[in-house]
Structure 1
Amino acid sequence: MDTVDPVDPADTSVPALSAHVDTFARDHLPPPEQWPELRFDLPGVRYPVRLNCAAELLADTDPGRPVFRTPSGDPWTYGQLRARVDRIAHVLTGELGVVPGNRVLLRGPTTPWLAACWLAVLKAGAVAVTVLAQQRSHELSTMCSIARVTHALCDIRSVDDLVKAEIPGLRVTTYGGDASDDLLLRITGAPDEPFDAVDTAADDVALIAFTSGTTGRPKGCMHFHRDVLAIADTFSEHVLRPQEDDVFAGSPPLGFTFGLGGLVVFPLRAGACSLLLEQAGPKQLLPAIAEHRVSVLFTAPTAYRAMLAELDDHDTGSLRRCVSAGENLPTATWRDWHGRTGLRIINGIGATELLHIFISAADGQIRPGTTGLPVPGWHARVVDAEGTPVPDGEPGLLAVRGPVGCRYLADPRQREYVRGGWNITGDTYVRDPDGYFSYVARADDMIISAGYNIAGPEVEEALLRHPDVVETAVVGRSDEARGQVVVAYAVLKEGARRDAEALRAFLKSELAPYKCPREIVFLDALPRTATGKLQRFRLREEAGADALSPPASEGDVSAGGGPK
C-alpha cells in the first residue's frame, strides 16, 4: 500500500490526486515553502495516499455498541450513527447539490446530530466549517466570506443569527424543526443503502477551523483528512490511552478543536462512547459524571477549580482520565484536584493551528507545574526571536513540528506562525534538562517593569494560593516611570472580603517584591470567550483606560463587575 512520504510534506502541486471538484480550499493553501516541516516518523501516522477520515472513524466497531449519549433520550449505537450519517450524506449530495470540496457550515449546540452532520460532510468529500452556536451574525458573515461557504446545516435553535447575517448565496438547511424541508425529515426519504465515501486524498482539506482569537480578523486553519486521524493516533493513543468501555464527556463545544477531538474523534477512533451535553459548565458536568458514569473528562483549568467546591455532593468515582487544556493549569489546581479525587490531571498544550494537543504527560510521567513532554510523533524546542535554540532553563518561544502543521487559509500571518520549518505557537516556555516543558506565559503576556521580566501566570499562581481567590488574571499597564506595572484582577469566593492590602501582604510572602501587583482590581467574573478562554485583551484595555491616572498608592484598589 502506498503511503505518504515520511520525510517530505505531501505535494500539493498535483491536483490530480485530489477528489475535490470545488478546488477553493486546495487553491488557497499557503505555498509549500511556507509550510512547516511535517514529520511522519511515528509508524502510526503513515497513512494511505487515499483516505477519508470519516469512513475510517466509522469503520469496524460493533454496530450494537453505544456511541453517543445525551442527558435525555435513547443512546445512539454505532450502527444507527452509520445509517444516519449515510442518509445525511445522500441528502447533501443528492438533494442539496453539495460536491466534493464545497465548504459546509455546521452550527448548533453539542448534540449527536451535529456530530453526525460533521461526519456526513466529510464522508461526502466536502469541507466542514464548524462554528460556535454563540457566535453572532457579523462573526458568521466574516467566516463565511473568508471560507467561501456555500451550504449550511444548522440546528433550528441556532438559525436566527445565521439568517440575520444575510450571507450571499448561502443555502441553509435546518434540523430539529417541524418544517417540511427539515433535514431530519428529508433523511427519512433518503436511500437505505450505505453511502460510498468519496475517495478523498489523505491531503485533501477536511475541515477549516477558525481560531477563537479575541482580536483581529479570524484565521481559518485548514486541516487534512490525515490530520484528523493523526491527533487520535498521537495524543489519544499514546498519552490518553482510551478503552472501548470509556465514556467521554467535557465542556468544549465541537466548534472548538479541543472539543472536536475529545468528544468525537478520540472516542470514535477507540470504539468508545461520548456523552454530548448542550450545557456543560461545572454545575452540569458533576451530576452528568455521576449519572452516566463518565470515565474520561475534557475541560479547562477554570472548570476543575470550580468543581472542587462541589465534589462532596457528587460521585466522581467513575473517572479515570481528566484532561486539561485551553489555558495554563495552575499547580495549585492540579494538587487540589489530585488531593480530593486521587486523579492526576493530564495537562496539555494544543492549538487550533495544530488541531489538538502536542505536549503532555500522563500517569507517572506527570510533573505538576509542567506541561510535560512532546507527545510521541511530535518534536518541540525553545528558541529565541531568530529561531535559534536557547539553553535549557532559559525562557524562549515554543517551536513545534509533527504530523500536523499550520496552514492558514489565504492569510499573510502564515509567515508569522511558521518560521524555519517550525510552528511558533506564541507561547513562552522553558525546557529543563530532562526534556520537560514548562509554561511561562503567552509571549504577549510578559510584563517588563523597571527592567524586570515578570510572567503574568506566575503572579496568578501565587494569587490562587490564597484561599479566598477563585479566579485571577494579571496584565501589564503602561507606566511612564516603569514602562509597565503589574495589575491583577481577582474573583473571590462568595462572601469573602475585598481586601487588597491583605492580598498584597500575602503575595509579598509568595513573590519577590517587584513581581507584586501595583494594583488589584476585584471583579465578579473574568471576561471569557464562548469557549471559556480568558479575554486578556479586554483586561488590558481596562487597565490602559486608567493608564493616565496611576493609583494614589501601591495599595490602591478598584472594584467592579467586569470590564465594560
Structure 2
Amino acid sequence: MESTGNPGPAPSGHVDTFARDHLPPREQWPVLVHDRPELHYPARLNCGAELLDRAVERFGAGRPAFHTAFGETWTYGGLQGHVDRIAHALSGELGVRPGERVLLRGPTTPWLAACWLAVMKAGGVAVTVLAQQRSQELATLCGLAEVRHALCDIRSVDDLIKAGVAGLSITTYGGTGPDDLAARAARQPARYDAVDTAADDVCLIAFTSGTTGRPKGCMHFHRDVLAIADTFARHVLRPVPDDVFAGSPPLGFTFGLGGLVVFPLRFGASSVLLEQAGPKQLLPAIGRHRISVLFTAPTAYRTMLDRLDEHDVSSLRRCVSAGENLPAATWQAWHRHTGHRIINGIGATELLHIFISAADDAIRPGTTGRPVPGWHARVVDEAGDPLPDGEPGLLAVRGPVGCRYLADDRQTQYVRHGWNITGDTYVRDTDGYFRYVARADDMIISAGYNVAGPEVEEALLRHPDVAETAVVGRPDELRGQVVVAYVVAREGAVRDAERLREFVQGELVPYKCPREIVFLDALPRTATGKLQRFRLRTGPSAGPGPVE
C-alpha cells in the first residue's frame, strides 16, 4: 500500500504545544511518501521506547550497547536502567513536561546518548548541540527553541552558563553531589513507561546554519527517527547485531545521531562512543574495539590513508562517507589499501540522514549513488521542472521525512512544488545514478562541516579593529574547502591576524574559524556596491598577502 501526501496530525501527546504550534503551515510541507511496508508506523509511537525497549525484548538485556575509549561497556539492560531513571528525573524532580525542549550538551559519551533517549521516552524535544559551541551561539539556539531545561556534561557547562539564558535550568552530569544528574537518577525507580506520544509529535530540533548564517531549526517526528533506520540503514548499510559502530560526527549532528545511536540500537548492534574522534583516534580504536562499521567524512579517509600500515583495520566491514563530496580518487585509494568499498552518501539535517547512496557492487566511484529505497530524487530547473539525464540542475528529494523549519520564512525556499530542494547541483545519468557537481549556494563545506560565511563575518565584525569583512571557501586538497576571511581593518588599527583568530575562537565553534586571514585595503565591489565574492574565491591581488 502506498501512502503519500500530508495526512492530518494525530492527537498530540505533548502538554507544551510549542513545537507543533511552530511547524510551518501544512501547505508548505513537502509531499511525504511512505511507500514501503516498513514505513507504515502506528499513529501512537515513541521512538525512545522503540529503539531501546524493543531492542531489549528482541536482542536481550545482556548484549553490549555502548563502549567507551576507556574500556567501559554499557549493556542494553544497563542502558535501559540509566535511561528510565533519567526519564523519571526529567518528568519528576526537574519538571520537564511532554513537549518541552531540553538542551543536551557534552562530548560523545554513553551519558549523552542516554540523556537523548530519556528525553525521547519522557516525551520531550531534544535540542542537541555541540560541546564546542560558544555562549553566543548557545543563547541564539535557546532563544529560537525557547529552551528552559538543559542536561550538560559538567566539563562543557561554562559556556552554557555564560550564555545567560533567562529561565534556563541546567542540570549537569559527570560531577558529584546530590544535584548531579547521576545522583538524581539513582533516586528514581528502575522502570519508566514511555510517554504516549503521537508518531508525528516533534521529538527533536536539529539546528543547521544556512548561507545567511541565521540558524534554522529542523523539526523531526518520532516516526522520522525510525524512518532513517528503516531506509538507509536497513537497505543500504544492512547492519547485523554483531556489528560495532564508530565514527567522527558528534551526536549534535544528525549524521552522528543516526550512525552512533539510532542505527545500532535499531538492529541490536553496539557502538564505540569516542570523545575525541579524529583520524588519529579512529585508527587505533578500529583495532582495539574491532570496529566493523565506520562513519566519517572524506577528509578523514584521506588523512587515514597515510597511517593505515601502522594499524589493524581488518575488522572493518562497512565504511560510510557523507558530509561532503567523496572524490573518486579517495574512494579508489581506500579500496586499494583496504579492499573496502566506501559507501558514499548525501544527507541533510532537513531530511535527518542519508537519502542517496549505494553499497557493494552497486557502487560507482565518482557518483553518490541512487535514491535509497523509500526515497525519490530527481534533477530539476529553477522552475521545478525535471531536467533530462546528463544535464546539471538542482537536486530535488522526497520520501518519508521532509523539511519542516521552526517558524522560519526560508521554508518556502527549501520546499518547492512538494519537493525538498537541497541546494546541491547534481547530474543524473541514464542508469539513475546521481553525480555531485557543486553547492548551489555559498555554503563552505570544510572537512565535512557546513560553515556559513556570513556567520563568521558577523563574529569578526564584533572585533573593534574590523571595518569590513568577507568570508569565502577556498579549494583545499585535504579538507575540500578551507575558510578564508578577507578583512579591511579600521583606520589606525594594527593588522594582527593572530589576534583576530583568537577572538573568533572565543565566539564560534572551532571548525568555523578562518584558517587564513587576508588583509585588504578594500573589498571588491560592483559599481552599485555589491560584494563580488567570486573575486575573493580566486584570490584577489589587492592588499597584503595571506597572513597565517
Q: TM-score range by the shorter chain?
A: 0.7 to 0.9
Q: CA deviation at 1:71?
A: 1.0
The answer to whether the aligner puts 1:18 opposite 2:12 as a matched pair is yes
Query: What per-residue deviation string (whole Å, max 9, x for no partner) do you get for residues 122-181 of structure 1?
Result: 100010000000101110110011001110000000000100011011110000011320
Counterpart of 1:39 in structure 2 is 33
When residues 388 and 539 of structure 1 are mapped into structure 2, their CA distance, relative to the original with a 3 A threshold, is farther
Distance (whole Å) between structure 1 residues aligned to residue 347 and residue 539 of structure 2: 37
Counterpart of 2:260 in structure 1 is 263
Counterpart of 1:423 in structure 2 is 420
The size of the alignment, in residue pairs, is 487
Amino acid at match of 2:295: F
Amino acid at match of 2:192: F
When residues 181 and 369 of structure 1 are mapped into structure 2, their CA distance, relative to the original with a 3 A threshold, is same
Counterpart of 1:450 in structure 2 is none
Runs of at least 5 residues in structure 2 that lack an aligned partner in the other structure: 454-471, 480-500, 526-531
Distance (whole Å) between structure 1 residues aligned to residue 347 and residue 511 of structure 2: 13
Matches for 1:367-406 after TM superposition, within 5 Å: 367-406=364-403
The answer to whether the aligner puts 1:280 opposite 2:277 as a matched pair is yes
The answer to whether the aligner puts 1:27 opposite 2:25 as a matched pair is no
Q: CA deviation at 1:286?
A: 0.2
Which range is displaced more, 379-388 or 205-214? 205-214
Distance (whole Å) between structure 1 residues aligned to residue 521 and residue 246 of structure 2: 39
Decide which of 50, 58, 63 is 2:44's aligned counterpart: 50
Amino acid at match of 2:102: V
Distance (whole Å) between structure 1 residues aligned to residue 82 and residue 25 of structure 2: 38
Amino acid at match of 1:419: R
SS of 2:215's partner is coil
Q: CA deviation at 1:540?
A: 11
Amino acid at match of 1:225: H
Counterpart of 2:205 in structure 1 is 208
Distance (whole Å) between structure 1 residues aligned to residue 509 and residue 391 of structure 2: 32
Amino acid at match of 2:115: C
Counterpart of 1:185 in structure 2 is 183
Distance (whole Å) between structure 2 residues aligned to residue 236 and residue 261 of structure 1: 9
Percent identity among equivalent residues?
Answer: 70
Decide which of 66, 86, 89 is 1:68's aligned counterpart: 66
Q: CA deviation at 1:444?
A: 2.4
Distance (whole Å) between structure 2 residues aligned to residue 530 and residue 334 of structure 1: 32
SS of 1:216's partner is coil
- Equivalent pair of 2:518/2:546 in contact (CA under 8 Å): no
When residues 492 and 320 of structure 1 are mapped into structure 2, their CA distance, relative to the original with a 3 A threshold, is closer
The answer to whether the aligner puts 1:294 opposite 2:279 as a matched pair is no
Decide which of 81, 84, 96 is 2:82's aligned counterpart: 84
Query: What per-residue deviation string (whole Å, max 9, x for no partner) do you get for residues 451-489 of structure 1?
Result: xxxxx99xx9xxxxxxxxxxxx9x9xxxxxxxxxx9954
- Equivalent pair of 2:39/2:230 in contact (CA under 8 Å): yes
Matches for 1:292-331 after TM superposition, within 5 Å: 292-331=289-328
Runs of at least 5 residues in structure 1 that lack an aligned partner in the other structure: 447-455, 461-472, 476-485, 494-524
Structure 1-normalised TM-score? 0.81
Counterpart of 2:463 in structure 1 is none
Amino acid at match of 1:267: P
- Equivalent pair of 1:326/1:533 in contact (CA under 8 Å): no
Query: What per-residue deviation string (whole Å, max 9, x for no partner) do you get for residues 528-554 of structure 1?
Result: 99999788x998998996648989x99
Matches for 1:70-469 after TM superposition, within 5 Å: 70-192=68-190, 194-213=191-210, 215-444=212-441
Structure 2-normalised TM-score? 0.83
When residues 534 and 160 of structure 1 are mapped into structure 2, their CA distance, relative to the original with a 3 A threshold, is closer
Q: CA deviation at 1:6?
A: 1.7
Distance (whole Å) between structure 2 residues aligned to residue 334 and residue 542 of structure 1: 37
When residues 487 and 135 of structure 1 are mapped into structure 2, their CA distance, relative to the original with a 3 A threshold, is closer
- Equivalent pair of 2:66/2:110 in contact (CA under 8 Å): yes
- Equivalent pair of 2:154/2:174 in contact (CA under 8 Å): yes
